[in-house]
Amino acid sequence: MGEHLENQQRLWLFIISLTIFWGVLTPIPSSAQTTGAQSPAQTVHTTHSDQDPVVFADPNLAALVAKGLDRAGQPVTYGAIRHYHGRQLAVNDSDGRVVATSLEGLQSLRELPAGIGADIQFDLAPHVSWTPLRGVPVSGSLTLAQDDMHDVNFTVVNQIRVLEDPRVVSYRESGLNGQNRYRNATGLTNADIHLLEPVLSQFGRLKHRADDGTMSFAFSNQCLTDFSYFRKFGKVNVVGYGEFVDFKHAFTYIDPTTFTSDTVVRLPARVKGLDGEPVQTSTAGYFGQKLTLDGTDMLVSGVFSGTPWLILTHQQGSSNFSFMDPTVYSDGSLLTSDGMQYYRLKWQKAPVAAAPAPQPSPPTRPDSKPGKPATVPPQSPTPNRPQPLLPPKPTTHPQPMAHPRVVYATETLYRYQQATFTHQARQAKYAQQPRANRPLFVILSEARSHAGRRRYFVRDINHGSATDGQTGYVTADPQYVTSAYYQSTPHHVTVINPAGIVAHPQPNLSAGNPVTHYPQGTVLSVVAFQRRHLTTRLQLSNGTYITANRRLVRAGVHPLPKGLQTKTRVTRYGTASLTKRLQTYAPGTRLKVLGWTSAHPDDLSTASPRRYRIPGGYVTANTQKVRLIW
């Protein structure tokens, strides 16, 4: 009996030893290392044990992470990250003292427990790689400041994982700022913002925003001029201080033969607000020129002859500059921007291209009269066996058209998921808009409904709209859609685009070779018409070319009204959305009209009411409240 018990003990010792030995050879997954009610790590494959320290290349960044983990003065270990619990991890340099020279080590935050991310805010030295941020979970806020962000790997930035942070806080922000105030000449551009769409849209879709319902987007000390991209994210607070902008492709020509010391140079605002409206963000001339605000245009006097450029600026909070009030929109959104803007001057008359080549005359028949084209008798159709007329089935996977066209909507219409229209298949509504704001589409193919009605399969090309880039079916009925470009030569056109148009010496309308800017209301003489890929061009009497887009120009002479007279009490506002109340006028007041625009040009689901631009702001165009003076 004793021998039997001794053999059992030896067997159990052997099994225990074998289990320990096998455990040494087989590493335990990191997810199994969590204890109690801890959530599993977000990244379970790792070669580091809990006791291993995280190697940071920058000790200041290591101290910032340790502070967020409540381990100030201690080394950061992988276990401290994996088993972190409680509030979202704050890697936040609120004092502005940390300028990270490397992000190496920050990739360890990928092992935070599920549902927990980092609230990141600190500065980076120029040219520091962002690669360690790939896949890092961020909760609610990410604010980094670094010059020369053109060198940033946008693919890495777009792979940051944005998590919901259910805390009720006063601040939520996605911020990518420069450090060199008003001098970051290689900062992010308008095109770069669109390249950051994957990560920015994650912030824009967050359910838990600031306690006032806004999401802040900060892009200060960059090179931005168009903030309409952010409108798609609903109620936002956009900050863009210190923008450095050189309008090198938009020359302002000054004829030296007529220039005097009293000459006033008009510089239209070239910054676009959240609704795509012109926004003036400058208040002073850098070299002491006198500025007068005319609507959103700046009138500059005191220009020195031969000056190669004019610099307009407003340096927020600096000496001699007050803090600029934000533009307030109807939904509570805010935009605050200023910067250093370089307007290029050319001291010469606007160049005139060579006269257009004469158009060849159509061929004539010997028996036809001179000057009249030959007529060809109609060909009789070839007899075929009658075929049953069956309505074609809708195209499920439409093939691209050989010659796609651009059309715009003239009436309210819907875009559908399929060629046979049903209420359930509706994707988007496009309300009837004023001409300069009509929705644009590229026709990719044609299809038929079950009843045989023609449909266009289109792509939405309304840049700035929430539907930009989406595809679907719209009616092909010419009562609802028509060509967005003129297909023949009108004798005259009137500029109707609120921002005006630019003429070019070549029909490609390259941004690098503009000739002159024509403001809204300018009447131009047209001598020729030319096709250009999906679009058409008009050649002016001076040999230059302009767009034939019907949203930008209108055939015929349609001058702007000289002014308006109020019928009731009318208020002047700072924006076309009639926000930021400035002044109220009594009935019978006469006001100068500088132009007109739409209230919310990027929201195509509802009609955009017209507003008149007057000196210092905007007023309603309601005919019951104002009467035009011609």
Domain ranges of the chain: 406-483, 492-555, 563-629
DSSP codes, 158-218 = TTPEEE---S--S--EEEEE-SSTTT-TTS--HHHHHHTHHHHHHHHT-SS--TTS-EEEE
Range name among 138-147, 165-174, 364-373, 521-530 with the lowest pLDDT average:
364-373
| % of the chain with per-residue pLDDT over 90 | 37
Q: Could you tell me which of 500, 463, 433 has the C-alpha nearest to residue 191?
A: 463
Highest mean pLDDT among 74-78, 318-322, 482-486, 596-600: 74-78
Average per-residue pLDDT in the chain? 82
The predicted structure's pLDDT at residue 387: 39
- Interval 463-469 mean pLDDT: 85
| Number of residues written out for the chain | 630
Core vs surface per residue 590-601: b (16+ CB within 10 A) or e: ebebbbbbbbbb
Amino acid at 467: T
Question: Which CATH number applies to 492-555?
Answer: 2.30.30
Return the amino acid letter for 105.
G
Strand positions, DSSP E, 125-270 = 137-145, 161-163, 173-177, 215-218, 236-253, 265-267
The two structure tokens encoding residue 515: 């000739």
Asked if the model's pLDDT at residue 294 lies above 90, the reply is no
Q: Are 437 and 447 in contact (CB under 8 A)?
A: no
> For the segment 244-286, what is each residue's pLDDT rounded down to a tens digit?
988 877 788 888 888 888 889 998 898 999 999 999 988 888 8
Beta strand ranges found along 323-425 (DSSP E): 327-328, 334-346, 406-409, 413-416
320 phi/psi in degrees, rounded to 5 = 75, 0
What's the pLDDT at 63? 94
- Of the two residues 10 and 597, the one the predictor is more confident about is 597
Helix (H, G, I), strand (E, B) or coil at 295: coil
Give the pLDDT confidence score for residue 273 in this predicted structure.
94
Rounded to an integer, the average pLDDT of 540-557 is 91
Place 31 in a pLDDT band, splitting at 50, 70 and 90: very low
User: Any long-range contacts for 261-267 (C-beta under 8 Å, 24+ apart)?
Assistant: 262/301, 263/301, 263/303, 264/299, 264/300, 264/301, 265/299, 265/300, 265/301, 265/303, 265/310, 265/345, 266/294, 266/297, 266/298, 266/299, 266/300, 267/297, 267/298, 267/299, 267/300, 267/310, 267/312, 267/343
Q: How many CB atoms lie within 10 A of CB 315?
A: 20
- The answer to whether residue 303 scores a pLDDT higher than 60 is yes
- If you average pLDDT over residues 233-242, what whole number do you get? 92
d(CA 512, CA 472): 35
Q: Which of 177, 111, 96 is nearest to 142 (CA)?
A: 177
Of 5-14, 439-448, 492-501, the least confident:
5-14
Straight-line distance from the first to the last Cα atom of the chain, in angstroms, rounded to the nearest whole number: 122
Distance CA 102, CA 144 (A): 13
Averaged pLDDT, 157-173: 84
E strand map for 375-450: 406-409, 413-416, 426-430, 440-448
Looking only at Cα atoms, what is the longest distance across the chain? 133
* Residue 104 backbone phi and psi in degrees, to 5: -60, 130
Tens of pLDDT, residue by residue over 492-501, are 999 998 888 8
* CA angle (293, 295, 297) in 5-degree steps: 65
Query: What was the pLDDT predicted at 57?
Result: 95
Looking at the DSSP bridge assignments, the partners of residue 246 are: 342
Contacts of 470 (CB under 8 A, 6+ apart): 415, 427, 428, 459, 460
Query: CA 439 from chain center: how many Å?
Result: 17
Query: Are 538 and 509 contacting, i.e. CB atoms less than 8 angstroms apart?
Result: no
Contact call for residues 545 and 504 (beta carbons, < 8 A): yes
pLDDT of residue 516: 83
- Give pLDDT, residue 296: 87
3-state secondary structure of 290: strand
Cβ atoms of 451 and 421 within 8 Å: the answer is no
Residue 59 falls in which region: left (phi positive, over 0), alpha (psi -120 to 50) or beta: alpha
Which pLDDT belongs to residue 540?
Answer: 92
Q: How confident is the model at residue 427 (pLDDT cuts 50, 70, 90)?
A: very high
Give SS3 for 510.
coil
pLDDT score recorded for residue 110:
94
CA distances from 329 to 275, 578, 582 (A): 9, 8, 14
pLDDT of residue 626: 92
CA dist 528 and 359 (Å) reads 9
Place of tokens 């006001």: 591
How far apart are the C-alpha atoms of 249 and 115, rounded to whole Å?
Answer: 48
Helix (H, G, I), strand (E, B) or coil at 425: helix
Average pLDDT for residues 325-334, to the nearest whole number?
89
217 forms bridges with which residues in the sheet?
174, 238
Tokens representing residue 256 in the block: 């030296």
pTM: 0.53
- In 3D, which of 125, 174, 113 has the Cα closest to residue 152? 125
Phi, psi of 265 (to 5 degrees): -100, 125
Q: What is the DSSP letter of 463?
A: T
Residue 13 carries which DSSP code? H
